[in-house]
Chain A
Amino acid sequence: MLGKLFQKVSQSPTHPRPTPAPRRFDVAELYEGPASLAEAPDPRALPLDEKLRRAYFWIVNSAILSPHYDIEFHDGPAPEFLLGDRKARLVLPSDQSYSSYVLLPLLTFATQRKCLFIGGPGRGKTASAILMGVLAGYPVREVRRGMQRGHPQLTVADLVGSPLPKDLIGADQVDQVRIAWRQWLSMRVKIVDEYNRIPTRTQSALLTLMGDNYVELYDQVYECPPAAWYLTANDDAGGGTYQVIEALRDRIDVIVQALPFNPRYLSELLTRIEENARPEEFVPPEILFTAAEIERMGAEIRRLPVPRPVLRRLEHFASQFEFSDVAGEQFEYKAKDTARLAGTDWAQLSAQDDGRDRLKDLGCQTVNGLSVRNLLTLLSYAKAMAWFRGAPEVTLADVTQVLPFVLCDKLKPDLDAPYFAAAERFALKSDRIGWLRQLFTASCQEYDRLGLDREDPVAVLLEQIRPGLEGVAEAEVRKRLAQIERTIGELGRGGKLYGTLHDDLMVLKSLHQRYRNYLSWLLSRPA
Chain B
Amino acid sequence: MSEPLHPAVEGWLRQSREPLNAAFEAARARWPALSGPAALDWLRLDVADAVAAVAARDPVAAPRVGQTLYALGLNLLGQQLIGPEGRSPGIPEALRLLVRHAPGLLAAAPARLAGAYGNAAHHLSQHRGARLGDWQTRLGRALPLCTEVDTALDVGLVAAWLSGLPQYRESALARAARLSTGLLAALLDTAPGPDLLGQLAADPWFQPGPPPLPLAAVRARVGDFRGLGGEFLQPPVVVGDGQTVHAVSPGWVGQLAADAWGAQLIAVLPTTLPAPAHAVPPGYRLTPAALHTPDGSRLELGRFGPVTGIAWTAQLLALSFRDSHRVRVLARRRDA
Contacts and interface: CB of A to CB of B under 8 A. Distances in A.
Contacts of A30: 119-120, 123-124, 156-157, 160, 165, 168
A31 B116 contact: yes
A76 interface: no
B122 A34 contact: yes
Interface string B238-265: 0000001000000000010100000000
Given A31-B116, A33-B119, A4 B269 contact: no
Interface in B253-282: 255, 257, 266, 268-269, 271
Pairs of residues from A and B, 9 with the lowest C-beta to C-beta distance, nearest first: A35-B118, A33-B119, A27-B168, A31-B116, A4-B29, A25-B167, A37-B111, A27-B171, A21-B271
Interface in B225-248: 244
B81 interface: yes
A1 interface: yes
B175 A27 contact: yes
Interface string A18-54: 1111110111101111111110000000000000000
Contacts of B168: 25-27, 30
A33 B87 CA distance: 14
B115 A31 contact: yes
A37 B114 contact: yes
B6 to A, nearest CB: 24
A494 to B, nearest CB: 45
Contact of A35 (B119, B161, B269): B119
Interface of A: 1, 4-5, 8, 18-23, 25-28, 30-38
Given A21-B269, A22-B244, A31 B153 contact: yes
Contacts of A22: 244, 255, 268
A487 B279 CA distance: 60
Chain B, interface SS category: helix
Nearest to A23: B268
B318 to A, nearest CB: 16
A310 to B, nearest CB: 26
A332 to B, nearest CB: 53
A1 B115 contact: no
Interface of A is mostly: loop
A32 B25 contact: no
B39 interface: no
A42 to B, nearest CB: 17
A19 B269 contact: yes
Contacts of A23: 255, 266, 268
B99 interface: no
B79 interface: yes
A36 B68 CA distance: 11
A1 B269 contact: no
Nearest to B123: A30
Contacts of B123: 30, 33
Given A27-B161, A27-B171, A30-B157, 5 more contacts: A31-B153, A33-B119, A34-B79, A35-B118, A37-B72
B268 A21 contact: yes
A35 B30 contact: no
B183 interface: no
Interface residues of B, number: 46
A30 B157 CA distance: 7
A193 B158 CA distance: 62
Contacts of B290: none
Most buried by B among A19, A28, A31: A31
A419 B315 CA distance: 70
Given A26-B168, A27-B172, A21 B255 contact: yes
Contacts of A8: 30
B48 interface: no
B115 A37 contact: yes
B72 A33 contact: no
B26 interface: yes
Contact of A34 (B25, B76, B167): B76
B72 to A, nearest CB: 5
A34 B72 CA distance: 10
Contact of B115 (A20, A21, A35): A35
Contacts of B47: none
Nearest to A8: B30
A22 B269 CA distance: 9
Contacts of B156: 30-31
A29 to B, nearest CB: 8
B115 A38 contact: yes
A37 B72 CA distance: 6
User: Max chain A CB contacts within 10 Å: which of B26, B160, B171, B271?
Assistant: B171
Contact of A25 (B114, B124, B158, B171): B171
Contacts of B111: 37-38
A35 B93 CA distance: 13
Interface string B45-86: 000000000000000000000001001100110010100000
Nearest to A39: B111
A19 B271 CA distance: 11
